[in-house]
Homo-oligomer: A and B are copies of this chain.
């Protein structure tokens, strides 16, 4: 069966899900999930002495669903510690509902082989785990969800979390937990907060117990069943780099310059505008160009959103941005700012990007700058699978912000390592082309033909403007057309659009 953007979805994987039909096709009334809660009486202690004890007290059994957040990124010790403990207890056949997974989680390969983990849903997959899954490690396909889509799925009960293990850089004994204070800070705990709202059992794991009350708390005591202190929750240097540096790569700088011209001339760049940039080289450089233009024109932004980086914090502190909404702090400067700047607001993943609440803040974005591994002539975007078909990326907030923002700008080099970025058809669709407005490459830009208003605006701007087909041909004329990736029939990944429909599948590479 084919969905509305023509992706072939094998019937065998549909399993009650619907096929993607358009970015807002599925917008009817929804009913929230109803978590179970065991009340805590005054005087009862929540502190337990080990992860094992927490697992046992929470009643984890074969077949249940466990969850984790990825705010500690490549410095995370928690997921591996917990899954090791579960394996030792002999519990099997679990669904792992992590907000994302990285290279640090390669020990999961062992726990998939030994039957502890049999299903996974995540935003991203990288490293050995991603490699093995792409080559058919699991019987059940991984479900790839965006950050907003995961929040939606949890709130709708599509992901029913039995037990959430949530790392926090500090907590008091009653479970008031923070990511912004302690030894191994990560800043915002935005993804974890949804788990705490909807899981039947919630365990806080920290290496820094502090006096009651540990406030402001990312996760409040009212959501927490147990608290465990361990020696170390993570490696701070893997959690957040010291500070993001600006690129000196001339190709990235050129893309950034074009992208900022696109934004400045788009009609959306005016006092009170709002924007999100990612953490890639070009995206960060865009924020520097925008900053200069904002000073020149005397305009300020009402808010910036997303994964927050040092340049955003600086613009907040300069008064150029009035509010930062932070679902994930990308560097130590951002992680530290959240408890220091009162206009730097921690938000949860539902507030960020859930399409099925009464209006996530992605809806209020004027401009978003996003990257791409591939873009096709329908403007569909792949940020998940590499040129060898192996998963090595993350859905993230890509399709969420693209759907919400008034102007979605994709920044990418036309060619990456002798491989064209603009292609006839992307390996994997994460974000549908109908939500993309402009592609910016180092060779020039292409505007989605749906945006006739923008095409007109850019007619007299000194950026090279092409059709996307022209950009594709240009790329092919330089490096030729790569051989198609050879896949087998087995589906190793299902890509859900943010509304829970199937937008694409990932097949096993040969």
Q: How far, in Å, is A154 (CB) from chain B's closest CB?
A: 13
Does A37 make an interface contact (CB < 8 A)? yes
Assess A175 versus B34: contact at CB under 8 Å? Given A213-B323, A216-B345, A323-B215: no
Given contacts A213-B323, A345-B215, contact A358 B38 (CB under 8 A): yes
A248 proximity list for chain B (CB < 8 A): none
Q: Is A139 an interface residue (CB 8 A)?
A: no
**Which residues of chain A in 447-488 are interfacial with respect to chain B, using CB atoms and an 8 Å cutoff?**
none
Complex CA gap A34/B155 in Å reads 10
CB nearest neighbor in B for A352? B222
Among B357, B404, B406, contact of A222 (Cβ-Cβ < 8 Å) = B357
A363 to B42, Cβ gap below 8 A? yes
Instruction: Tell me if A225 counts as interface (CB < 8 A to partner B).
Output: yes
Does A327 make an interface contact (CB < 8 A)? no
Number of copies: 2
Min C-beta distance of A403 to chain B, whole Å? 7
CB of A359 within 8 Å of the partner chain: yes
Question: Which of A25-33, A126-134, A489-497 participates in binding chain B?
Answer: A25-33
Whether A358 lies near B42 (C-beta < 8 A) is no
User: Judging by beta carbons under 8 Å apart, are A39 and B223 in contact?
Assistant: no
Known: A215-B323, A357-B37. A42 touches B222 (CB 8 A): no
Residues A221 and B39 in contact, CB atoms below 8 Å apart: no
Closest-by-CB residue of B relative to A42 is B363
Contact between B404 and A42, CB atoms less than 8 A apart? yes
**Interface footprint category on A:** 35 or more
Q: Is the CB of A364 within 8 A of B39?
A: no
Residues of the B chain whose Cβ atoms lie less than 8 Å from the Cβ of A37: 29-32, 356-358
Taking A24-B41, A302-B211, A358-B175 as contacts, is the C-beta distance between A35 and B36 under 8 angstroms?
Answer: no
Q: Which residues of B contact A31 (CB under 8 A)?
A: 34-37
Contact with B along A38-61 (1 / 0, CB 8 A): 111111101000000000000000
Instruction: Point out the residues of chain B lying under 8 angstroms from A175, CB to CB.
Output: 358-359
A212-B358 contact in complex given A29-B36, A32-B34, A39-B27, C-beta closer than 8 Å: no
A202 contacts chain B at the CB level, 8 A cutoff:
yes
| A359: contacting residue among B27, B28, B221, B303, CB under 8 A | B221
Of residues A32, A359, A406, which shows the largest number of chain B Cβ atoms within 10 Å of its Cβ? A359
Interface SS majority for chain A: loop
Q: Write out the residue numbers on chain B whose beta carbons fall within 8 Å of the beta carbon of A202.
A: 358
- In the bound complex, residues from chain B placing their C-beta under 8 Å from that of A27 are 39, 41
Q: Which of B220, B222, B223, B359 contacts A40 (CB 8 A)?
A: B359
For residue A174, CB closer than 8 A to chain B, the reply is: yes
CB neighbours (8 Å) of A38 from chain B are: 28-29, 358
Interface residue A272 (Cβ < 8 Å from any Cβ of B): yes
A23 to chain B, nearest CB (A): 9
Whether A213 contacts B303 by the Cβ 8 Å rule is yes
Bound form: Cα–Cα A272–B211 in Å: 9
C-alpha gap A37/B355 in the complex (Å): 11
Question: In A343-366, which residues have CB < 8 Å from any B CB?
Answer: 345, 350-351, 354-364
Q: Which residues of B contact A24 (CB under 8 A)?
A: 41
A192 in the interface (beta carbon within 8 A): no
Whether, in the assembled complex, A231 has its beta carbon less than 8 Å from a beta carbon of chain B, the answer is no
- Closest residue of chain B to A226 (Cβ to Cβ) is B358
Cross-chain contact A30 with B36 (CB below 8 angstroms): yes
Is A11 engaged at the interface, CB distance under 8 Å to the other chain? Answer: no
Query: Whole-angstrom distance between the alpha carbons of A356 and B32 in the complex?
Result: 19
Taking Cβ atoms with an 8 Å cutoff, the residues of A that contact B are 24, 27-44, 46, 174-175, 202, 211-213, 215-216, 220-225, 272, 302-303, 323, 325, 342, 345, 350-351, 354-364, 403-406
A-B contact pairs, 6 of them (CB 8 A): A29-B36, A30-B37, A32-B36, A202-B358, A211-B272, A213-B323
